[in-house]
Amino acid sequence: MRMKNILRTIELMRAAEPEEPIYAILHVPAAVAFTLMGAKPAFKAMIKNQELFRTLCDYVEDAVVESCKVLVDAGLDFLWFPMPNFGGYCISRKSYEKCISQSNIRANKRIKDYGASIVIHTCGLYDDRFDLVLKESGDAWHISDTQTRKVKEEYGDKVALMGNIPCCSVLMEGSEQEVYDFAYQECMDGARDGRFILSGDCDVSPLTPDENVKAVVRAAKDAEKVLFG
């Protein structure tokens, strides 16, 4: 039923706004395995029973890949994969490498072979594992809790970037000027050669003031004039 609703939504969106890109939020096999196990057993397995976690990732992989194919065939422009439980706040680099990385590499390659574009949401601390994520065939990274300039300098020639305005401390709680200044600097740090989408670092709260959202748009337009004329 969920898939039918998504397919119908894609159809309606394509008819109403044919030039607008359409994306869907899906989960990589490791995230599906994490949900099926539950947080506490999953985190425990990633330390003490890694083979069990990897086996469950493998088991759900075909379903994830084939679901992505259905959506791509329906006209989806890109897929957005959030991975909030696999950053440095939750698991070590070693656990990521042993339990997550190879599954993502294999599944994402299969999805890419169907013609999909992929945005990987590196939610949380990923500075110590971006080199692993680079192998996972993402066309773009949605980054948070990091420095855009640093990630741009290290990986900007290999992958597009999205982010990195803190949604709570800046976008929701900051003054209009503070939001403008932060967003403008993000553009200057991340968009020097294009390949950058200015956005919040994660979910934008409905409590975010309208004027702050408008300040982000204004900052992006002003930065664009400076960077590209």
- pLDDT, one tens digit per residue, over 112-131 is 999 999 999 999 999 999 99
Domain boundary assignment for the chain = 2-138, 164-229
pTM value > 0.75: yes
Assign domain 2-138 one CATH number from 1.20.210.10, 1.25.40.80, 1.10.10.10, 3.20.20.210: 3.20.20.210
What's the pLDDT at 190? 96
- Tell me: pLDDT of 229 over 90: no
What's the pLDDT at 11? 94
Residue 94 CB neighbours (<10 A):
12
For 16, 85, 98, the CA distances from 91, given in Å and listed in that order, are 42, 8, 11
**What phi and psi values does residue 91 have, to the nearest 5 degrees?**
-135, 160
The answer to whether the beta carbons of residues 70 and 7 sit under 8 Å apart is yes
The answer to whether the beta carbons of residues 33 and 60 sit under 8 Å apart is yes
